[in-house]
Structure 1
């Protein structure tokens, strides 16, 4: 089997280039991300050795950024200038005018947001994350680092070297346990979460704060872009398990919940826990994160189960592609397989817990369809070698079985755990 070649990530800032570059044939693959100033517009994969005919390349780029342009400018493709050749300067002038109403003229130095970073024995990643967060164009009112069942004092040492970062130890292992500790120590009305292996865009904090200007928004998620695609594991994840939910705003509310309840609301589509934020007051209505959905327990999915409860309470969740972070995917295949196993274990357990909360949500049928349709097809398509995305197939299947078994062993605890009350503490 030939090796999977790495992909080089190129961020094309279209407002800064004189013409649209057409990539030549490269041994490496290319992952192009298109920007207009601080707005991410779309992306494009180009396979290693893939020749680019100029006219076809322009069509691909146009298609990649079309949804974002339609959203931001309220125009159809026919109404917009083309991006090819001599039309590019006219396109840039049109973009300058069309995006004028979205431009941020002044950005406050700080906003009343508590940023919580849950971490465990990853001092190098945490240090980079904190340094760049603190250098943002707009900084949060506070940063809380929750040190989750640490094996040493390396995390505390990182925090000790930085001003205005609070260190909170949490001896019990579990991401949702750590998240709950962060919520209870947050002092400000908005609580944002990022993973320790992300790098934030300079305007991330500002865009999180802006998203809550709508008083009906209870929670948000944001755009997660890959920071590197250097290994097969990273490429598999980005192509088949990506945290990227697109380049246009999406709203999830009671209408979405009720319209999808009969099949089980697909709350996992809302976003990623690596980039999410909540109005702190929502925890008074929903309770805290479900600690049964932790690594070492069900696996994960505490974030999507929380979004489910918010929607069930009539809350509104916004996905905004302007709140951007860059995520470092797991580099090795063993790490990816473990991650996907945990995802599917947590997915199955959370789905059944959600149906327990609302029996009319047909998540059991969803899980049956995963096996009868998705996995049966994948087993046939991947046979016999099970390469690339199929390398995690058996981990997925085992994860679902394990999650179902976990739920039935702990179903009597599920309601008590999700009903866990919120009691605010200033730490």
Structure 2
């Protein structure tokens, strides 16, 4: 996309938020990136039912930012609301807990021109220095770097660092039956099933604030397992391409043969959570590689528990279902 043609393009950026004060730094970085790209742009922040005191934070956003309210809780419901208010030919997606790179907007446009794709998947990274954050980052980069993943090509979309053309949203909305986890994966699968193409564009990067405790990550994995079951049921054609979905079938078969296993769903998630909490208490000198090895069985317990939870007909779980106390942004 030439410099002259880019200046005529309207880019929309949509960010849902729930009681997350990091939205200020997120929006500031987006406005700077858009200005450096020299494109027409609009930034839409969707307040998804935050507490009353959060209005003071939203009031600090620049006047050029459109703030809309979606009282019905659900990250993907909020994102759809923001998208319905958008007007751009290209839609960029971020979460409130990211800071986008200075060239994020220009790289998104370059990615569309270079690949011709309808949907772009960026590569979020983290500069967090806490032991849990370094561990999560190492795990994610390992997964992205696997030759088998790159050989199959991208299969999923990540709302904290992604982009798509307007005509994709005209046909595919985010699935509002999913409140938290896996909605972006479902959206990417829906788009591919509708005939749209998805491409990696690693140059489009954001700095994501990973969880500061591995225990919270594992508590969220309980909901991810529930989401695996949901998405696998909607898109069986993706099972051969996506290893984590391919594992759902054997888990479901096991629960079918031994129905009593479904009663272990929450205890499994709690066991994983408390195991991860133990890892969080290790000395800072313990390396991320060792933490990953210790964390793996904890995460798997929670994910399998999430599948069992779904098979028992339970609604999508939250962090609070595992921890027994509310999580401010979940």
Could you state the TM-score of these two structures normalised by the residue count of structure 2?
Answer: 0.70
1:365–1:343 Cα change, 3 Å: closer
Matching of residues 277-356 of structure 1 within 5 Å? 277-286=163-172, 288-295=173-180, 300-355=181-236
Tell me the equivalent position of 1:180: 80
Cα deviations by residue, 1:152-177 (Å, 9 ceiling, x for unpaired): 25256435541310001110111111
Structure 2, unaligned runs of 5 or more = 254-271, 280-289, 316-330
Tell me the equivalent position of 1:394: 298
1:214–1:284 Cα change, 3 Å: farther
Asked if the contact 1:352/1:407 (under 8 Å) is kept, the reply is: no
Matching of residues 51-130 of structure 1 within 5 Å? 111-123=9-21, 125-130=22-27
Which of 102, 127, 134 pairs up with 1:235? 134
SS of 1:130's equivalent in the other structure is helix
Take 1:360 and 1:327, find their aligned partners in 2: how far apart are those partners?
A: 29
Take 1:176 and 1:216, find their aligned partners in 2: how far apart are those partners?
A: 26
SS of 2:313's equivalent in the other structure is helix
* Aligned positions, number: 277
Take 1:322 and 1:222, find their aligned partners in 2: how far apart are those partners?
A: 7
Runs of 4+ in 1 over 4 A off after TM superposition: 104-111, 357-365, 368-372
1:405–1:154 Cα change, 3 Å: closer
> Offset at 1:232?
2.4
1:189–1:159 Cα change, 3 Å: farther
Tell me the equivalent position of 1:134: 31
Tell me the equivalent position of 1:221: 121
Root-mean-square deviation (Å)? 3.9
Tell me the equivalent position of 1:50: none
Tell me the equivalent position of 2:112: 212
1:272–1:242 Cα change, 3 Å: farther
Take 1:397 and 1:330, find their aligned partners in 2: how far apart are those partners?
A: 19
Take 1:195 and 1:156, find their aligned partners in 2: how far apart are those partners?
A: 19
Take 2:84 and 2:165, find their aligned partners in 1: how far apart are those partners?
A: 13
SS of 1:326's equivalent in the other structure is strand
Tell me the equivalent position of 2:159: 273
SS of 1:343's equivalent in the other structure is helix
Q: Which has the higher strand share?
A: 1
Asked if the contact 1:146/1:182 (under 8 Å) is kept, the reply is: yes
> Offset at 1:151?
1.2
Could you state the TM-score of these two structures normalised by the residue count of structure 1?
Answer: 0.56
Cα deviations by residue, 1:370-389 (Å, 9 ceiling, x for unpaired): 799xxxxxx9xx9xx98722
SS of 1:223's equivalent in the other structure is coil
> Offset at 1:361?
8.7
Asked if the contact 2:14/2:91 (under 8 Å) is kept, the reply is: yes
* 1:191 and 2:91 correspond: yes
SS of 2:124's equivalent in the other structure is strand
Take 2:4 and 2:230, find their aligned partners in 1: how far apart are those partners?
A: 45
Tell me the equivalent position of 1:76: none
> Offset at 1:405?
3.9
Tell me the equivalent position of 2:51: 151
> Offset at 1:241?
3.5
Take 1:195 and 1:128, find their aligned partners in 2: how far apart are those partners?
A: 11
Of structures 1 and 2, the one with the larger relative CO (CA 8 A, separation 6+) is: 2
1:156–1:194 Cα change, 3 Å: farther
